[in-house]
Amino acid sequence: MDAFFASAEQASKPSLRGKAVVVGGLGPRGVVATASYEARVFGVNSAMPMAQARRLAPNAAYLVPRGAFYRSISEQVMGLLHALSPLVEPLSLDEAFVDLEAGQAAWDEESARLAGIKLRADIRAVTGLTGSVGLAASKMLAKIASEQAKPDGLVVIEPGTERALLGPMPVRTLPGVGPATGDHLRRVGISTVDDLAVAGEDELVRLLGKAHGHALYTMALAHDERPVVAARETKSVSVEDTYDVDIHDRIRVGTEVGRLADRCVRRLRGAGLSGRTIVLKVRRYDFSTLTRSETLRGPTDDPAVVREAAARLLESVDTTGGVRLLGVGVSGLADYTQEDLFAQAAGEQAALEPEGDAEHEAVEERETPAEWRWTTGHDVRHAEFGHGWVQGSGLGRVTVRFETPDSEQPGRVRTFRTDDPALEPADPLPLVALGPRRPDGPAGEPTGQMSSVPASLPKSWSGNGGGGATSRP
């Protein structure tokens, strides 16, 4: 999904189409999650500190991510992939491998190409976004092809051309070669994939260790036997927050841990799961990160149980000097609970009180300043003006642009008091499906030596749906 978050925001907000959009944390310690292609022109990239992005592109629109909205689009795209094959291996919300052979989605050159064209048309018709597809005989090469196809394209790597294609590419192209490994190799004169192959396996093992050295040498020869593995079960559920200013007050730290525990349980229940191991994560002022865990006698999805366990774990952590990040997670997941094993000291009293989630949410709402409810980029509804999104808030005011995904023109902007009873947070509206494009457009035609699908069916297909400015109508 090319520039997925930013593309989704542009599609849902007509006033942002064709403009620089940056999605990520907006606080002093925030980082860029995704930048639109218009923002990338200014040098803004994912994982960049948000402060640096603002210096590079001061006029871009800066938005806070809408996770549930992106997940809903991702589920639609993944559903299209599962219609092609039972073997779909998601890498993240915005990318997956598909084994075409297992799904019998293609049997020769023409059917394979048509399957790719149809997938891209279906993504556009269902989500209103576009998709980029890479087709190859292995996962590594399919991934490289999908990168070559961005944005809004389809690229095929023809068997027999892999070595010639990979050779001049930088070593960072290969999976597992990050900045540190890339710099280490560059210092010894290895800059391209061809350099890796020439260096030989023994030298790479000496430089990088047995496992990593062997793997890189194998990939440099264009060998990748990794199978497409269907989606694995969720192993844990967790939430965490990074704070703009270090938290020093111990009571505040405890309150934050309680809120994170409740958020974690809501996510746990949303997935229909429970868990027996509670994990607390604390990153201190000096960037040292501590984790503590407690395993219960059986799985639970009781917010009171998780809160109390997280509080006990916090007691063993020294927060003197300040805390910059807190997280709470639950692992050892199951699809059932054993609440009878978790009688708490205050259990009888708790039975007389409102349900834990609702009660704690009400307390959190009362304790949260009104401005916190108006998150930049998030959806709102006004009793008179209808649906809109927050452009900014502060000093007791919130500015809203009223528009929807199907608005033909950018919407009007109005400012309200943050406590205006007519204004309230709202759920995102679905994107407008745009219908399939003609399959013979220039973006859909691969070029060069990667332009043909072999007669024998390639095994792996990496799909990247997405869009950005160049893919809008």
Residues involved in catalysis: 95
Determine the angle formed by the axes of helices 67-84 and 109-127, rounding to 10 degrees: 150
Strand order in the sheet with 397-402: 412-417, 397-402, 386-394, 379-382, 423-425
Q: Specify whether the CB–CB gap between 312 and 280 falls below 8 A.
A: no
List the Cα angle 379/384/387 in 5-degree steps. 20
CA atoms within 13 A on the CB side of 174: 33
Question: What number of other Cβ atoms are within 10 A of residue 211's Cβ?
Answer: 10
Q: Tokens 């000097």 sit at which residue?
A: 321
β-pairing, 21-24 vs 61-63, is parallel
| Backbone φ, ψ for residue 8 (5° rounding) | -65, -40
